[in-house]
């Protein structure tokens, strides 16, 4: 069923500019220009997604802050009181990586079937189709920022200062996260039009992807350390999420080596002992790669969108 709220958002965004019919023959440069000219449409769709999610809710968007706050409180009770793991401030380590993963997962999962779900819009209105998965990424960004605020509040509560020298790297890491989530979302949204099982497959792949990313476990227990003797560490960091998660954890958790309170003589390497300059260099290299990946994703989408109407 066509979403009336989304239809209003589309028509509102299109009313301020002449229609451009998108096709598979549109060049990459023209595609980027069209995306830029439809910024208002993208904004309207993001707002529409958020309104739909909390429609009829008494607290509305406030739930987006209460939910991660409750989650963080539960993590604290479980890992610091009930099932003690001995890691100091482990809840900060966990949540600083989890907010990065949540943004990626929410963006990709919601964007995977968005074109199929909004088939009525695709068939009736001419607009850049890739705006639909990008709107899903934009909604995930809003929730990410809210969760980041919750994390900062908990940092004050725990009197835990971040690594100030790392804060200037976070905008670059966030750009990497956005571009990577947008690239995967755009491609998966296009593939799902032709293969409807992709949404269910992606749900399984995201679960596997989560456990191959260093969100829950320390660096000393990661494959990067286990495979070091076999010179296979590079394969661990071929997962783009690894560097993004580690950068956020290094910024907010700070400590690289910690003393385990359950074992008096045990020390664990929670994070890589790289200098901030190394994190900066690696994130800049990744940024160049992510820009290229985003352009490739747009190109793939352009080649696949020509038959959307017939497939839908």
Can you give the pLDDT at residue 286? 96
Structure tokens at 310: 């017939």
**Once rounded to an integer, what is the mean pLDDT over residues 121-127?**
79
Q: Which ranges constitute the DSSP H helices of the chain?
A: 4-14, 28-37, 39-53, 63-77, 90-112, 114-117, 119-124, 131-158, 170-194, 198-211, 223-226, 233-236, 240-252, 276-304, 308-311
- Dihedrals phi, psi of 275, to nearest 5 degrees: -75, 155
Distance CA 98, CA 65 (A): 15
Q: Residues 173, 280: contact at Cβ < 8 Å?
A: no
Tens digits of residue pLDDT in 100-111: 999 999 999 999
Strand partners, 257: 269
Looking at mean pLDDT, say which of 41-55, 88-102, 176-190 comes out highest: 176-190
Q: By residue range, what is the domain housing residue 252? A: 4-311
Q: Phi first, then psi: what are they for 269, rounded to 5°?
A: -90, 105
Distances (CA, A) of 166 to 93, 118, 199: 15, 41, 36
pLDDT of residue 24: 45
pLDDT of residue 5: 46
pTM for the model stands at 0.84
1-58 tens-digit pLDDT: 445 445 554 454 444 444 344 444 678 888 888 888 888 888 888 888 887 776 666 5
Calpha distance 149→145 (Å, rounded): 6
State the total domains in the chain.
1
């Amino acid at each position: 069923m066509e979403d009336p709220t989304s239809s209003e958002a589309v028509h509102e965004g299109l009313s301020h500019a002449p229609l451009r019919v998108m096709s598979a023959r549109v060049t990459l440069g023209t595609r980027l220009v069209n995306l830029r000219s439809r910024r208002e449409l993208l904004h309207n769709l993001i707002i529409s997604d958020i309104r739909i999610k909390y429609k009829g809710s008494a607290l509305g968007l406030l739930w987006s802050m209460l939910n991660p706050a409750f989650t963080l409180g539960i993590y604290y009770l479980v890992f610091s009181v009930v099932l003690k793991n001995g890691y100091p401030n482990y809840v900060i380590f966990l949540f600083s990586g989890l907010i990065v993963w949540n943004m990626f997962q929410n963006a990709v999962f919601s964007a995977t079937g968005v074109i199929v779900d909004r088939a009525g819009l695709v068939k009736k209105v001419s607009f850049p189709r890739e705006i639909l998965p990008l709107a899903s990424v934009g909604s995930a960004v809003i929730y990410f920022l809210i969760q980041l605020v919750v994390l900062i509040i908990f940092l004050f509560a725990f009197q835990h200062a971040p690594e100030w020298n790392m804060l200037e790297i976070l905008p670059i890491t966030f750009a990497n996260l956005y571009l990577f989530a947008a690239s995967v979302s755009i491609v998966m949204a296009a593939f799902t039009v032709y293969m409807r099982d992709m949404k269910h497959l992606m749900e399984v792949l995201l679960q596997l992807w989560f456990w191959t990313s260093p969100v829950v476990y320390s660096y000393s227990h990661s494959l990067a350390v286990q495979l070091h003797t076999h010179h296979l560490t590079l394969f661990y960091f071929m997962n783009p999420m690894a560097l993004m998660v580690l950068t956020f954890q290094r910024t907010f958790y700070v400590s690289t080596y910690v003393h385990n309170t359950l074992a008096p003589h045990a020390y664990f390497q929670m994070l890589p002992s790289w200098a901030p300059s190394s994190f900066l260099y690696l994130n800049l290299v990744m940024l160049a790669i992510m820009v290229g990946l985003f352009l490739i994703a747009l190109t793939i989408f352009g080649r696949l969108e020509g038959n959307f109407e017939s497939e839908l």
